[in-house]
A and B are shown apart, each in its own frame.
Chain A
Amino acid sequence: MASNLVNGKVEQATDAFSIKAGLAQMLKGGVIMDVVNAEQARIAEEAGACAVMALERVPADIRKDGGVARMSDPQMIKEIQAAVTIPVMAKVRIGHFVEAQILEHLEIDYIDESEVLTPADESHHINKNNFKVPFVCGCKNLGEALRRINEGAAMIRTKGEAGTGNVVEAVRHARTLFSEIRKAKALSEEELYTYAKEIQAPYHLLKETVRLGRLPVVNFAAGGVATPADAALMMQLGMDGVFVGSGIFKSGDPAKRARAIVQAVTHYKDPKVLCAVSENLGEAMVVIQTFLDVVKKFFCRLE
């Protein structure tokens, strides 16, 4: 880009990553909401969402309907982009770099390389360093988070179990991540090399994590957050913000629940506010546990 040359100095390569990570920093303390059309996007923006995630079906429906879940129709993404002024994110299948090229062409603000969609490549993730648009990726533990950052992810989220309305997996992943960071901080330098090998993490990123005492990029909770209390729980565990997928638009009163969750993320340590916003929210989303889920749970814990 010619305009990298402004007021005399050329942008450095490290600056390029800090600009990607910087947008995630601006989203902190906020709620990013899944939306499937412009109307839902407007409801989310009016409720105080700091960004929206455009997708074709919310995870709850993907679970129910089965089949292959793919990147959304570009036309739908354009309509959402035209409807709101907050950042618009969208999902691509794991490893599907062409879907990512299409989203970059659409000038999407963030790409989620997401396990919620059907993976396109079982052994390779997208080389996210090749893109100018920043990426967010899911993780279940520290090693996975650092591998994704090494591939260029500028933001991380826990995977949780999307579309269930059950926060237990998001809690498990957050607990695992923080516990592994604490463990790494206590290790000697020799031990850290071994630990990097053990958790399959790039050593330089593990060392940086130890130095910072946290992941080197912004880290949101995702996958099963359904109530203001769930959102505040994830914040108190140490997450930087919250993704809410099916939890909002699969509930009784989406606008009210969305506002309540936004409030809960700001005032996550204040039980008075949490109590007030939790009142009369109507029905929370229904927990769906399919037969396939049960089978999957026993046999494959795929990354």
Chain B
Amino acid sequence: MKSHPLKIGILSIQGAFLEHINVLTGLSDEYNLNIIEVKTSQQLHHVDGLILPGGESTTMALIAKTSDLFDELVKFVHNPNKIVWGTCAGLIFLSSEISYAKIGGQDLLKALKVKVSRNAFGKQLGSFSTQLKVPCLLEPEKYFPAVFIRAPIVESIDENSKTIEVLAYLENLDAKRVRGINHVEGEKIIVAVRQDNIIATSFHPELTRDDRFHRFFLELVKEKV
């Protein structure tokens, strides 16, 4: 007999939400998924896990505010029984503090106790793709293809937070290219983290054919339901 479907929401107010939906659709039979585009607070109430996609963090925050979704999102991401995953702009939106915010600041969900540097590699000319070691994934010895588009990085982790785990580092990067931290040649940069029910990545697994990050997220949702 089939168990209850996992209800996975994708915040669909702006950005690359269809790309996440496409990857999840490919895993839908295996995981028995009910995939829900979340544009309103009513849609949010139905889901077990939520993906905050890439896009523009300023746009997402503004639309969430004007759509009366913002406060409900804050409640959702602080609920330890819900699994949340932010990619790129989603990482920024989830964080508690940022550098290089827009003039006048921008609204954040303040659930993930990290400081994020926006557009850490500069403008579009600084965008790149690479291969990362991500030990928490299936087949950990296999590199994960990571696409960084005007990407943010985790600048620092809140010292008082005991539960944040780094899932992936960027290594061997040219020192000059990163803003927000005093980066020295050869130093590692944090590009994926987990804090209890929240995971966040600087890069875009939804733009690749590798679905291991989506599987990792779905396994966490499965454990909670």
Q: State whether these chains interact.
A: yes
Task: List chain A positions with a Cβ less than 8 A from chain B.
Answer: 1-9, 11, 15, 18-19, 22-23, 25-30, 42, 45-51, 81, 83-87, 104, 107-110, 132-134, 259, 262-263, 265-267, 270, 273
| B50-82 interface with A by 8 A CB criterion | 54-56, 58-59, 62-63, 66-67
B143 touching A8 by the CB < 8 A rule? yes
Q: Does B211 contact A (CB under 8 A)?
A: no
Q: Which of B54, B63, B102, B125 contacts A26 (CB 8 A)?
A: B54
Q: Does B12 contact A (CB under 8 A)?
A: yes
Chain B residues near A3: list those with CB within 8 A. 128, 173-174, 177
Chain B residues near A48: list those with CB within 8 A. 14, 58-59, 62-63, 66
Roughly how many angstroms separate A107 CA and B123 CA in the complex, as a whole number? 7
Q: Does B100 contact A (CB under 8 A)?
A: yes
A19 touching B59 by the CB < 8 A rule? no
Roughly how many angstroms separate A29 CA and B132 CA in the complex, as a whole number? 29
Roughly how many angstroms separate A133 CA and B66 CA in the complex, as a whole number? 33
Chain B residues near A7: list those with CB within 8 A. 130-133, 143, 170-172
Roughly how many angstroms separate A42 CA and B174 CA in the complex, as a whole number? 32
Give the size category of B's interface with A.
35 or more
Q: Does B147 contact A (CB under 8 A)?
A: yes
A107 touching B125 by the CB < 8 A rule? yes
Report A50 CB to chain B, min CB distance, Å.
Answer: 4
**Given A30-B15, A30-B56, A6-B128 contact (CB < 8 Å):** yes
B128 touching A19 by the CB < 8 A rule? yes
**Given A30-B56, A50-B56, A25-B16 contact (CB < 8 Å):** yes
Q: Which of B18, B123, B133 contacts A28 (CB 8 A)?
A: B18
Closest residue of A by beta carbon distance from B122: A107
Roughly how many angstroms separate A8 CA and B171 CA in the complex, as a whole number? 9
**Given A29-B12, A87-B150, A22-B207 contact (CB < 8 Å):** yes
Chain A residues near B15: list those with CB within 8 A. 26-30, 50
What are 20 pairs between A and B in contact, CB < 8 Å? A1-B128, A2-B174, A6-B131, A7-B171, A19-B147, A22-B204, A22-B207, A26-B149, A29-B14, A29-B17, A45-B102, A48-B14, A50-B14, A50-B15, A85-B103, A85-B119, A86-B102, A87-B56, A87-B124, A107-B122
Roughly how many angstroms separate A262 CA and B171 CA in the complex, as a whole number? 38
B124 touching A23 by the CB < 8 A rule? yes
**Given A26-B149, A30-B15, A267-B67 contact (CB < 8 Å):** yes
Q: Is the interface of B mostly helix, strand, loop or mixed?
A: loop
Chain A residues near B66: list those with CB within 8 A. 48, 259, 263
Roughly how many angstroms separate A1 CA and B148 CA in the complex, as a whole number? 15
Q: Does B101 contact A (CB under 8 A)?
A: yes
Q: Which of A5, A23, A49 contacts B149 (CB 8 A)?
A: A23
Chain B residues near A22: list those with CB within 8 A. 127, 147, 149, 204, 207
A26 touching B56 by the CB < 8 A rule? yes
B88 touching A266 by the CB < 8 A rule? no
Chain A residues near B130: list those with CB within 8 A. 6-7, 9, 11
Closest residue of A by beta carbon distance from B102: A85
Q: Does B13 contact A (CB under 8 A)?
A: yes
| B90-109 interface with A by 8 A CB criterion | 100-104
Chain B residues near A108: list those with CB within 8 A. 123-124
Contact indicator per residue, chain B 12-56, by CB within 8 Å of chain A (1) or not (0) = 111111110000000000000000000100000000000000111
Report B150 CB to chain A, min CB distance, Å.
Answer: 7
Report A92 CB to chain B, min CB distance, Å.
Answer: 16
Chain A residues near B13: list those with CB within 8 A. 29, 266
Closest residue of A by beta carbon distance from B147: A22
Roughly how many angstroms separate A262 CA and B67 CA in the complex, as a whole number? 11
B59 touching A4 by the CB < 8 A rule? no
Roughly how many angstroms separate A178 CA and B45 CA in the complex, as a whole number? 35
Roughly how many angstroms separate A108 CA and B123 CA in the complex, as a whole number? 7
Closest residue of B by beta carbon distance from A22: B149
Q: Does B193 contact A (CB under 8 A)?
A: no
Roughly how many angstroms separate A263 CA and B133 CA in the complex, as a whole number? 39
